[in-house]
Structure 1
Amino acid sequence: MSPIAWPQRLRAILHKEWFLFGMLGAVALASLAPDIGRAGGPLHGDVLADLGIAVVFFLHGLGISFASLRQGMLRWPVHLLVQLLTFAVFPLLWLLAAPLVSAWMPAGLALGFCYLCALPSTISSSVAMTGLARGNVPAAIFNATLSSVLGIALTPLLVAALAHLGGGQGMDLGQAVLSIARLLLLPLLAGQLLRPLLHAWHQRYKRYTNLLDRWVILLLVYTAFCDSVASGLWRDHGLATLATAMLGAALALLVVLMLSTWLARRVGFSVEDEITTVFCGSKKTLASGVPMAKLLFGAHPAIGLIVLPIMFYHQIQLLVCAVLANRYAARR
C-alpha cells in the first residue's frame, strides 16, 4: 500500500469504528481527570447520565407502539431464560469456580466475585445496547426492570447462601421502585403519551436519534470510570490485585456471553430475541451494586476489594457489548 493511501485507510477505520475509539477515549479522559465527571463534580456526571438515560427511554417510548410493548411483555421464554442466566447460571458459575480460585485470591476479592454473580442486570445499558443492536427493545425493557426488582430480594439471599453470610440489612424496596420509575417508566410513559404527536418527527430524524444511544453509552462509560478512578481504582490497589480482578471479570463475561448466545440459538430464538437475551442476561449493575454492597458489607474491612470485580465488570461489559451491538446492528 502506498504511503498516500495510509491516511485514507486510517480515516476509514476511524469512521467505521469511531464508537470503539470513543469508548477508549472516554476511559482515558476519565483516568486523567476523574474529578471533572465524577458524581458531584464540575460537570455533575451523575446528573448528566440520568438525563441521558431519561432522554433515551423517552425516544424509545416514541418509537415503540403499545402493541409491540405488549408483545415484548408476552415473550415469556425470553424473560425466563434471562432471569435464569442472571440469578441461577451466574451463581452456579461461582460455585464451580470458588474451589479453584479462592485458595490464591485475596478473601475480599473472592467475596467480591461471589457478590458480582448475585447481582441483578443493569437497566440503562441493557436497553440502550439492545436498541443499538436492533433487538427486541420492549422485551429488554421488561426484563431489565424485572431483574432490578427481583434483585432487591434475591441478591442478599444469594450472597448469604453462596458466601455463608448473615445479618445483611434489607434493601429499601420503595426507593428502588421510585428510582426505576424516575429513570425508566416515566420517560417511557411520556414518550408513549406523546407518540401520536411526535411519532412522525421521530421517524424523520431516526438517524440522529439512533446516534444519541451511542453518545449516551459513551457518557455512561465516562462517568462510571470517573467515579471509579476518583474512589481510588488506580491508587489503592496493587497491580497484581487489579490484574486478577480484571482478568476474572473478563473471563466471567466471556463465559456468560458464549453461554447465553448458545442457549438463545439452541431454543430457536429470533435474532432480535437473541440480542435481548445476550445483553440482558450477561449484564450486571454497578449503579445498584455499590449501594447494595454498602448495606451488605458496610462494616467489612475489605469493602474496597469487594466492589472491585463489579467495577471492572461494568466497564468491560460496556466496551465488549458495544462492539457486539455494532456487529449486530450491521446485519441486513
Structure 2
Amino acid sequence: MMRRFAAIFDAFLLALAATVAIAALLPAHGHAAEIVSLAAKSAIALLFFLYGARLSPQQAWQGVRQWRLHLLVLATTFAVFPVLGLAARVLVPSVLTPDLYNGVLFLCLVPSTVQSSIAFTSIARGHVSAAIVSASLSNILGVVLTPLLVVLLMNTSGAVHVDGTAIRDIMLQLVLPFGVGQLLRPAIGGLITRHAALLKIVDRGSILLVVYTAFSMGVVEGIWGSVDVRQLIRVSIVATALLAVVLAATTFTGRVGRLERGDAIVLLFCGSKKSLASGLPMALVFFPAATVGLTMLPLMIFHQIQLVVCATIASRLGRRADAAGWGRNASSG
C-alpha cells in the first residue's frame, strides 16, 4: 500500500501541494514578494548555468539544429492554441461572459513559458538543449506575434506594442548563465555530472519558487475574488479542458510524427504552456483598466493549472525513465 501511495504522490508532488497551500495562507506581498521574485530568478539563472556546465557544445548544437521540432512547438503555440481560442466563442454567453471569453482567447495568443517548460523537460528526462531553444524562440517571436494576433483576432484599446524587455530578460536570465556554464564546462562539467542530485534539487526548487510566486500574486491581487464562485468554476473547467486538448494534441503529434522520446517531451511541455510573465504586461497595454482584471483571470487560472498538471506528468515520466534505466542521459539531448 505504501509503495502504491508513493508511486502516485512522490515527494515533489507533495512539496508542490504544500507550496500551493502556503501561498494561499501566507502569500508574499510588498518587500517579501520582491525577495521571493529575486530568489526565483536567481534559482532559474543557477539552473541554466548548471545546464550550460553539463551539456556539451555538441549537445547544445543538436538542440539548435532540430528545426522540425521547433516548428511543431511554434505551430502549437501560435496556430493550434488560437484556433481553439476562436472555437471557444460558442461558450458565450451560456458558459463565459464576453470579458471572460476575451481572456480565454488572449491566453491562447501569448507565447510559451521558458523556465518551467525547460525545468519540466529536464525532470521528465527530455532533451533539455532542444527545450531551451524552443521555449526561448517562442518567447522572442512572441514579442511580435502575440501583439499582431491580438490586433487581428480581438477588439482592444491598444495599438501593436513590441517590448524589447522580454528579449533582454531572456538574454540576461537564461542565455547569459547558460553561456557562462558552457565556458566553464571544461573545469566544472565533470563535477556537475558526478553530483547530478544538485541539478535535480535546482530543477524542482525553481519550479516550487515559480509556483509560490504565481499563486501569491493571484491571492494578493485579489484575482480569485474578482468573479463569483460559479464563474470561477466555469473558467477553471474551460482552462482545464483547453490544457487537456493541447496535451492530447501534442502527444498525438509526437507519436504520429515518430519523434524520439526526448523530443516528444519537448513538444509536450513547450507546446502546451502559456506565459503569465509575458501575458501580464501585454494585457495592461491592450485592455481597458476596468476590464483587464477579468481578462487576465483565465490566463492566471490556466497558469496555475498547467504548473500543477505538468509537474505531475513530468514527475511520472521522470520516474518511468529512471525505472527503465535511461536516467539523466536522456535529458542531455
Task: Show the counterpart of 2:45.
Answer: 54
Task: Show the counterpart of 1:91.
Answer: 82
How high is the TM-score relative to the length of structure 2?
0.92
Show CA shifts across 1:220-258 (max 9, x none): 101110111100023332111211221111111000000
Give the AA of the match of 1:322: A
Alpha-carbon distance in structure 2 between the residues aligned to 1:15 and 1:237: 33
Residue 229 of structure 2 is aligned to residue 236 of structure 1: no
CA contact (8 A) 2:95 2:234 kept: no
Task: Show the counterpart of 2:63.
Answer: 72
Mean Cα deviation higher: 79-88 or 161-170? 161-170
Residue 251 of structure 2 is aligned to residue 261 of structure 1: yes
Change (3 A) 1:59 1:296: same
Pairing 1:198-213 to 2, within 5 Å after superposition: 198-213=188-203
Residue 331 of structure 2 is aligned to residue 325 of structure 1: no
Alpha-carbon distance in structure 1 between the residues aligned to 2:187 and 2:6: 39
Alpha-carbon distance in structure 1 between the residues aligned to 2:137 and 2:128: 14
Alpha-carbon distance in structure 2 between the residues aligned to 1:24 and 1:113: 25
SS of alignment partner, residue 161 of structure 2:
coil
Residue 16 of structure 2 is aligned to residue 27 of structure 1: no
Show CA shifts across 1:164-184 (max 9, x none): 4464241222x2211111110
Alpha-carbon distance in structure 2 between the residues aligned to 1:280 and 1:15: 24
Moved over 6 A (4+): none
Select 1:273's aligned residue among 263, 274, 281: 263
Task: Show the counterpart of 1:194.
Answer: 184
CA contact (8 A) 1:14 1:21 kept: no
Alpha-carbon distance in structure 2 between the residues aligned to 1:291 and 1:52: 23
Select 2:6's aligned residue among 1, 13, 23: 13
Give the AA of the match of 1:200: G
Change (3 A) 1:76 1:29: same
SS of alignment partner, residue 287 of structure 1:
helix
Could you tell me how far 1:323 is from its partner in structure 2?
1.0
CA contact (8 A) 2:156 2:286 kept: no
Residue 304 of structure 2 is aligned to residue 311 of structure 1: no
Cα RMSD (Å)? 1.9
Pairing 1:143-182 to 2, within 5 Å after superposition: 143-165=134-156, 167-173=158-164, 175-182=165-172
Task: Show the counterpart of 1:117.
Answer: 108
Show CA shifts across 1:2-26 (max 9, x none): xxxx7xx289639951111111111
User: What's the % identity of the aligned pairs?
Assistant: 40
Alpha-carbon distance in structure 2 between the residues aligned to 1:62 and 1:200: 9
Mean Cα deviation higher: 299-308 or 71-80? 299-308
Show CA shifts across 1:286-331 (max 9, x none): 111111111111x242111111111111111111111111121122
Alpha-carbon distance in structure 2 between the residues aligned to 1:203 and 1:26: 29
CA contact (8 A) 2:92 2:98 kept: no
SS of alignment partner, residue 237 of structure 1:
coil
Q: Structure 2 regions of 5+ residues with no counterpart?
A: 325-333
SS of alignment partner, residue 135 of structure 1:
coil
Change (3 A) 1:241 1:100: closer
SS of alignment partner, residue 55 of structure 1:
helix
CA contact (8 A) 1:38 1:45 kept: no
Give the AA of the match of 1:183: Q
